Chains A and B, each alone.
Chain A
Amino acid sequence: MRAWIKLLHRVEDSLLAGLLGAMILLAGLQILLRNFFDAGLLWVDPLLRILVLWLGLLGAAVATRHDRHIRIDLLSRHLGARAERWLSAVVDQISGWTCLAVAWFSLRWVRLDYADGLTAFGAVPAWLVEAIVPVAFALIGLRFLLRPLTRALVGRGAGDTGSEA
């Protein structure tokens, strides 16, 4: 189990780095083509925009892992450690089910586009690029729901190597 979680983390991290790298290269290539050859590849611009969506949602999944989502931090400083643990457990459950609901409803939309055979750009099917929405939200939701479990399994600092910023 622990090995699987580690593997998932590695896959996520590599995907993030790979997609970001691809984005930088493609954007650079497009600028070169446009300015020096007066040309451009048609599929690069839509692909770049889709990369933003993928990067953002995967980044959000990793942010859930590191507990780095943006939230209002007013009350927690005044709560005791125990009250805070309870509160985060409840909030995690609410967050988890909300994200799963988003994943569920987006899945319905993706399946409709799949049935209609829509394409995103070129010959790339729409459902393929859209799939990141339900997949990422399902991952985020499960992560919230299973947080008590993963904490017990991998220890509190699970994968928490991110620097403070």
Chain B
Amino acid sequence: MSLATPLLVLLALLRTPLFVVIALAAMLGFAQIDVDLSVVGIEIYRLAEMPVMIAIPLFTFAGYLLGEGRASARLVDLTQSLLGWLPGGLAIVAIFVCALFTAFTGATGITIVALGGLLYPALKQAGYLERFNLGLLTSAGSLGLLFAPSLPLILYGVVAQQMDLDEPVAITDLFLAGILPGLLMLAMLSAYAMLQLCEAAPGQAGPRAAFDARAARAALLAAKWDIPLPFIVLGGIYGGYFAISEAAAVTAIYVFVVEMLIIRDIGFRRLPAIMRDAMVLVGGIVVILGVSLASTNYLIDAEIPSRLFATIQQHIDDRLTFLILLNIFLLVLGMMLDIFSAIVIIVPIILPIAAGYGIHPVHLGIIILANLQLGYITPPVGMSLFIASYRFDKPIMTLYRATIPFFVILLIAVLIITYWPTLSLGLVGG
């Protein structure tokens, strides 16, 4: 392992698919401790022993259907007509709509692609500065990761459950823990949006729309089939009526019926391609998770996390220093790795170490996700920056500059989330 590690890192940096790198690492590791390599197949097969996994293809499919149809447009219309009269209304609408959309579609760049095109011209028309609009929509692309039923949250739970901890990590606990930290991020960005308005249009209350009851009614009517969805899913999960896999099935069926049979946004001819695209994404995640079950098993067998902990403990003896280093590490990692592979690769290593410093595994999950979310907009290579550059057809340097204030605000939020465990754990186990 020690000799092979730099080689594996090099392979990963040279664009080798990550599942290949992890599979190689697992096989090399097992070969070194004389374990029969058939174990790799057995470990991959363990994917079929986790009931929560059912949620992953179902939520992804529902997310792709939502992204494909005009649900995003209806959502924007609705919230704009209901909240547009507030100071900073449209920007706040954008923040909340993007967060909701990301929670339901997973942070796969769909939000920027599907909502950016609608919100960008609307924000411009409302008189916001271009730099603000670009920064807002770029950072909104990964907002909402902390809310149920986001895939990264579920994936963290799945990986953590493989770790045999003293305190098991229930995914429903993660869903509860994400609420306040997620709202903190939304509130801080909304406050910034309100201030922004005064700067953009000095001397006036800003370009806020008058409340139009008729438009609001029309938007409500148009979205009457979309509105129940979050209530059914979130109410079902938080109320304890559904298991997560059941909530995913209900979501998939509901979205399918609404989009394809009632509203008929999407033609049936496009269905096979949508299904395939969704399953390609699922395949990319599942194959990484599968081989990482093998590599995680090796790590535990070889007692690597506990040895790492012993080494680290010699240099860092307090929790605060550990958390600061963790923040920096996760920020860099989140910039380079997409969130799914980042979770699968680092959680098995970091979780036992963090437990050694007395960090609750549920809190750690929220710290990791909040950090990785920030990684999406961390220059120079955060993924959302490139998606936004492509979507809005702007040079990447423009996006770096536009995103900086949002990065700073979210960084402060991430630090608060990291150093104030109660914010995450307050709602859990009450």
Tell me, yes or no, whether A binds B: yes
Tell me, in angstroms, the Cα distance from A71 to B280 when the chains sit together: 14
Question: Does B73 belong to the interface (CB within 8 Å)?
Answer: no
- Whether the pair B54, A23 counts as a contact (CB closer than 8 A) is yes
Question: Does B412 belong to the interface (CB within 8 Å)?
Answer: no
Tell me, in angstroms, the Cα distance from A62 to B56 when the chains sit together: 17
Q: Which residues of B contact A30 (CB under 8 A)?
A: 249
Interface 1/0 per residue, B1-33 and A, CB below 8 Å: 000000000011111111110011001000000
- Whether the pair A71, B246 counts as a contact (CB closer than 8 A) is no
- Whether the pair B276, A53 counts as a contact (CB closer than 8 A) is no
Contact with B50, one of A49, A75, A110 (Cβ below 8 angstroms): A49
- Whether the pair A105, B41 counts as a contact (CB closer than 8 A) is yes
Question: Does B389 belong to the interface (CB within 8 Å)?
Answer: no
- Whether the pair A72, B19 counts as a contact (CB closer than 8 A) is no
- Whether the pair B277, A69 counts as a contact (CB closer than 8 A) is no
Q: Which residues of A contact B12 (CB under 8 A)?
A: 71-72
Q: Which residues of A contact B15 (CB under 8 A)?
A: 71-73, 75-76, 87-88, 91
Q: Which residues of B contact A158 (CB under 8 A)?
A: none
- Whether the pair A52, B54 counts as a contact (CB closer than 8 A) is yes
- Whether the pair B23, A61 counts as a contact (CB closer than 8 A) is no
Interface residues of A in 52-79 (CB under 8 A from B): 52-53, 55-63, 66, 68-76
Do A27 and B246 contact each other (CB < 8 Å), given the known contacts A74-B381, A108-B38? Answer: yes
Question: Does B279 belong to the interface (CB within 8 Å)?
Answer: yes
- Other than the given A27-B248, A69-B18, A87-B15, 6 more pairs (CB < 8 A) read A56-B47, A69-B19, A72-B18, A91-B15, A165-B67, A165-B113
Do A71 and B286 contact each other (CB < 8 Å), given the known contacts A52-B54, A165-B109? Answer: no
User: How many residues in A have their beta carbons less than 8 Å from beta carbons of B?
Assistant: 63
Interface 1/0 per residue, B40-81 and A, CB below 8 Å: 111011011111011011100100000100000000000000
Contact with A57, one of B20, B246, B253, B283 (Cβ below 8 angstroms): B283
* Interface pairs (26), CB distance under 8 Å: A13-B276, A16-B276, A20-B278, A20-B279, A21-B275, A31-B242, A49-B50, A55-B57, A55-B286, A56-B286, A59-B287, A60-B287, A62-B276, A62-B279, A62-B280, A70-B285, A71-B16, A72-B13, A73-B381, A75-B13, A76-B15, A87-B15, A88-B15, A102-B44, A133-B45, A165-B281
Do A105 and B38 contact each other (CB < 8 Å), given the known contacts A49-B50, A53-B47, A94-B16? Answer: yes
Question: Does B351 belong to the interface (CB within 8 Å)?
Answer: no
Determine the residue in chain A with the shortest Cβ distance to B30: A105
Question: Does A98 belong to the interface (CB within 8 Å)?
Answer: yes
Majority secondary structure of chain B interface residues (helix, strand, loop or mixed): helix
Query: Chain B interface residue count: which class?
Result: 35 or more
- Whether the pair B290, A109 counts as a contact (CB closer than 8 A) is no
Q: Which residues of A contact B256 (CB under 8 A)?
A: 24
Determine the residue in chain B with the shortest Cβ distance to A101: B27
Determine the residue in chain A with the shortest Cβ distance to B109: A165
Tell me, in angstroms, the Cα distance from A57 to B408 when the chains sit together: 40
Question: Does A142 belong to the interface (CB within 8 Å)?
Answer: no
- Whether the pair A60, B284 counts as a contact (CB closer than 8 A) is yes
- Segment with Cβ contacts to A, from B185-193, B317-325, B333-341, B366-374: B333-341
Q: Which residues of A contact B18 (CB under 8 A)?
A: 69-72
Contact with A72, one of B277, B283, B336 (Cβ below 8 angstroms): B336
Q: Which residues of B contact A49 (CB under 8 A)?
A: 48-51, 53-54
